[in-house]
Structure 1
Amino acid sequence: MALKKSLLVCTPLEAPTMEKMLASMDKAKAEGADLVELRIDSMSFSHISEVESLIKQRTLPAIVSFRLNSSGISIKSESKSTGLQVLRLALELDVEFVEMEYEVAFDIIMDKHRFKCSNSQIIISSYVNGGKPSMEKLGHLIACMQSIGADFIKLAVDVDYITDLPPIFQMLTHCHVPLIAFAVGSRGLISQLLGPKFGGFFVYGSVGSQLIPGLPSLVSLKQVYKLEHINVDTKVFGLVSNPVGHSKSPILHNLALRHAGYNGIYVPMLVDDVAKFFKTYTWMDFAGFSVGIPHKEAAIGCCDEVHPLAKSIGAVNTIVRRPTDGKLVGYNTDCEACITAIEDAIREKQASNGGITRNSPIAGKLFVLVGAGGAGRAIAFGAKDRGARVIIFNRNYERAKALAAAVCGEALPYKYLERFCPENGMILANASAVGMEPRLNETPVSKEALRSYELVFDAVYTPRNTRLLQEAVEVGAIVVSGVEMFIRQALGQFRLFTGGPAPEEFVRKLVQEQV
């Protein structure tokens, strides 16, 4: 089975039986994998002939591996014997690739003359654990691995933080031997997605619902990221957040960038320390960032310049690296996105009743805000700007009071939210994480209390129809989903990222289909 692509997408397969391994292989093929890694150590087999049968029935090019020492514990002699038997069999059968761990590769390489007629290419791999990797450490390991006859070197690096990844990208750029290198775990995801920009030719993807932390799904690789189009000139955009897995921004931005013919990729980045992140990645070709929970306030201190609106809010959700001088400029597209979505919903209802106010329809209204984080700050300043009377509830009362003082509003203890009802026709905006996974069944305000509100907005957009919105509909309130805010703020970000017009019609259709 020939492999002539410049970028190979591989799916690692683990299964207890030959039948299940073959079924997983068929699924990987259907989802677009170029080859599979058959992890034979995951199988239970009574005789080596079962492995032989699996290899001969493969429907995709394959890597045959038998992991012995990835856990770092001592290798049992019987396990090592079985593993060596499997790897030698794979060489005899001319499997496309045979992967062996560095610690046991000598046992195969020493008698490599037995397999001089084999067409298999040998991958020597090492699991790098224990501490932040360095260029020196990785370079020395690669040199040692190459010296024993590898066709390809593979490094799986265990990292604690996303800021530990630069040595991996630098090795991909400067290594003079064919190198497969990536970080394991959810904080290492961009090592897979951005590898091709730095010369990587090998990407791993998970199949079906068998998601593996740090590995993109095959479906996302083929439909969202399309890494075969990534090159050294590709501009990198990303979402800086924690958590990040729930976000639909990668789907929206990647498809929008391609629709506009822009050479860019947008990646999710699980960031723990936002200040350290920006200091670490000054060298990389990052052109812009979306900033999510909980970094919107802290990220403002990472910017060289901040737009006046974002500065007054005290939070940014968008950072652009200015091409002329490389400075980071912070913006806030959340504010207008939320407030205009609320205003348009009220105006639509007014129009259906035969009239529209010329001023903002929220002017003079009591605007109840739940949440005083980055999104909450944007909403509070937007409501104040439109002349609303802002009341803020937040579990951290001190944060609520600080935000209320900034917008000339009022803060009340969170325990009073349920009973707060000074007047009817109020507006409720939820800018907290209540209703977001894993708190899907929760709501900040009971159904009965919602009867006092004319409109209910929920910044949560996954799920699209939160419990809060469902119950607001049931009591007759106007509802505005976080999806609408998501669309509007993303359109604003796209214009800032690319300097060109945003494909609004395309984005709206895309969100309706994907989010």
Structure 2
Amino acid sequence: MGLKNDLVVYTRLECESCEEMTCCIEKAKEEGADLVELCIDDFTFSDISQLELLLKQRSLPSIVSFRSKSPINSEGKKTCIQVLKLAVELDVEFVEVDTEVVCHEVVAELMKSRSNSKIIASTYVNGGNPTKETLCNSIINLQSTGADIIKLVIDVAYITDVAPVFHMLTHSQVPLIVRAQGDRGLISQLLGPKYGAFFVCGSLGGKYTPGLPSLTTIKQVYKLQYVNPDTRIFGVISNPVGHSKGPLLHNPAFRHTGYNGIYVPLLVDNVKEFFRVFSCNDYAGFSVGIPHKEAAVRCCDEVDPLAKSIGAVNTIIRRPSDGKLIGYNTDCEACVTAIEDALRERQKTNGHASNVSPIAGKLFVLVGAGGAGRAIAFGAKSRGARVVIFNRKYERAKALAAAVSCDALPYEHLNDFCPEKGMILANASAVGMQPKSDQTPISKEALRSYELVFDAVYTPRNTRLLQEATEVGATVVSGVEMFVRQALGQFKLFTNGLAPVDFMRRIVYEQF
């Protein structure tokens, strides 16, 4: 079995029986894997002939590996060597030798006896915060085995720990496979091909592995086979970031417009440190999400006047001419225009139409005083709304109210706040976001006072808040509408004007 692609997408199979392994190989094949790593250390067999049968009958090219998760005894080493020798005898495409389990002499013996198999020498670098020096030393040690390919599996504590990995990929003199473990290591796989990686690991459907994209997203969303050294990097900086739908929208839009870019999730703990480490022009633009929208302002060299007045950015562009970071806010107009359009549609239905903003003069109740809340507060105020802010941390609500010149009230008063009918409610908090989608910021009974209810949360698309608002007769606006509008604004900034509006809208409403 041969490999036809320059970029090989593989998945690790940790199974306990021949039947389970065979089933998983077929599933990996269906999901687009080019190759499977058969992790024999988890495999239970009473006789080596069972493993031999599996290796002969497999339907995909394979790596056979044996990595012990705990200190291994002499009997375990003997089994490991027996497995690796069998794989070489059967001409398995790749045979991986864990240098922490067996000595370099075993690698030399396998190299000498192999016919067509490629030998991979691997090691595990634990402890987090790997330095270039640590990785270089590991690579030198692996190279000394004489193996065809070397492989590093690395623990990372922060996303910035992945930067040395990209350096190693670019400068390694020997074919190198690298995998950074944990959620913050995800970009080691998604961006690896830009730096020369020829193997990318994905997880099998239904078997989530931190730090690994799924096989289906590699093939269908990111299409990593098209990533090359000239690909420009974009992403969403957030914590958490797993809920973001940005990659599902921006990556197809890049391909639709013929733009050589990739958009990835970036799980960032310290936004200032992130920009310090990933400072080259290849990192061209970013969406900014929870909780970094305000802190990111301080990371920018220049800030658009609207974003500056709001005090929060949701988009950052690295200017190619000088590498400076320029901050923008596309949340503000996205939210306000979505609410205005919904109210205008309601007015048309009732036979009323006006060129004045339908928000003007309305009592606008805002829940949440974070980055999105700031954008919405400034936007509503600019349209002439009477804004009242509620936030779990009352001091934060008062600070935003002072900045916007409006009122703030304690969060516990929200359900009882009803000075008039026909108000507008905007939820800019994370209440109701998956996985806590059973929550809502306000009682259903209190919603009867509102003409329109907007929820910035878009996972799930139809939140409990919106469901209950619909049930009491309010007009509802989903966070998905705000998402697509702000994303269109971002995409124009990312690509200097390109934005396939109809295409991006169709993706959002068909897939989200």
Note whether the superposition's TM-score is higher than 0.5. yes
Give 1:109 shift: 2.4
Separation (CA, whole Å) in 2 of partners of 1:126 and 1:244 = 29
Partner of 2:91 in structure 1? 94
TM-score (normalised: structure 1): 0.98
Q: Could you tell me which of 81, 92, 109 is aligned with 2:78?
A: 81
Unaligned runs of 5+ in 2: none
Separation (CA, whole Å) in 1 of partners of 2:114 and 2:351 = 85
Instruction: Decide whether the 8 Å contact of 1:154 with 1:181 is kept in 2.
Output: yes
Count of residue pairs brought into register by the alignment: 511
Instruction: Decide whether the 8 Å contact of 2:88 with 2:114 is kept in 1.
Output: no
Partner of 1:204 in structure 2? 201
Partner of 2:458 in structure 1? 461
TM-score (normalised: structure 2): 0.98
Separation (CA, whole Å) in 2 of partners of 1:17 and 1:489 = 49
Separation (CA, whole Å) in 1 of partners of 2:44 and 2:105 = 23
Give 1:75 shift: 1.4
Separation (CA, whole Å) in 1 of partners of 2:507 and 2:323 = 32
SS in 1 for 2:365: strand
Separation (CA, whole Å) in 2 of partners of 1:60 and 1:92 = 17
SS in 2 for 1:244: coil
Partner of 2:29 in structure 1? 29
Unaligned runs of 5+ in 1: none
Distance 1:117 1:137, change over 3 A: closer
Partner of 1:502 in structure 2? 499
Separation (CA, whole Å) in 2 of partners of 1:123 and 1:503 = 44
Q: Deviations for 1:126-149, whole angstroms, at most 9, x for unmatched residues?
A: 110124212222112211211112
Partner of 1:170 in structure 2? 167
Distance 1:64 1:112, change over 3 A: closer
Letter in 2 for 1:242: N
Partner of 1:19 in structure 2? 19
Instruction: Decide whether the 8 Å contact of 2:491 with 2:499 is kept in 1.
Output: yes
Distance 1:443 1:303, change over 3 A: same
Greater Cα offset, 340-349 or 94-103: 94-103
Q: Deviations for 1:102-125, whole angstroms, at most 9, x for unmatched residues?
A: 121425225337x53521111111
SS in 1 for 2:177: strand
Distance 1:403 1:445, change over 3 A: same
Q: Could you tell me which of 148, 151, 155 is aligned with 1:154?
A: 151
Give 1:77 shift: 2.2
Give 1:161 shift: 0.2
Map residues 233-244 of structure 1 onto 2, 5 A cutoff.
Answer: 233-244=230-241
Separation (CA, whole Å) in 1 of partners of 2:105 and 2:276 = 44
Separation (CA, whole Å) in 2 of partners of 1:496 and 1:158 = 35
Instruction: Decide whether the 8 Å contact of 1:88 with 1:108 is kept in 2.
Output: no
Q: Could you tell me which of 381, 384, 389 is aligned with 1:384?
A: 381
Partner of 1:413 in structure 2? 410
SS in 2 for 1:266: strand
Distance 1:391 1:77, change over 3 A: same
Give 1:66 shift: 1.0
SS in 1 for 2:416: coil
Separation (CA, whole Å) in 2 of partners of 1:109 and 1:443 = 59
* Aligned-residue identity in percent: 68
Instruction: Decide whether the 8 Å contact of 2:28 with 2:204 is kept in 1.
Output: yes
Map residues 233-312 of structure 1 onto 2, 5 A cutoff.
Answer: 233-283=230-280, 285-312=282-309
Root-mean-square deviation (CA), in Å? 1.1
Instruction: Decide whether the 8 Å contact of 2:455 with 2:465 is kept in 1.
Output: yes
Q: Could you tell me which of 106, 109, 130 is aligned with 1:108?
A: 106
Partner of 1:9 in structure 2? 9
SS in 1 for 2:210: coil
Separation (CA, whole Å) in 2 of partners of 1:301 and 1:435 = 29
Q: Deviations for 1:393-450, whole angstroms, at most 9, x for unmatched residues?
A: 0001000000011111111011001111111000000000110012110001111110
Separation (CA, whole Å) in 2 of partners of 1:264 and 1:501 = 13
Letter in 1 for 2:288: V
Map residues 186-197 of structure 1 onto 2, 5 A cutoff.
Answer: 186-197=183-194
Separation (CA, whole Å) in 2 of partners of 1:223 and 1:245 = 17
1:120 aligns with 2:114: no
Separation (CA, whole Å) in 1 of partners of 2:179 and 2:338 = 41
Map residues 309-320 of structure 1 onto 2, 5 A cutoff.
Answer: 309-320=306-317
Letter in 2 for 1:380: A
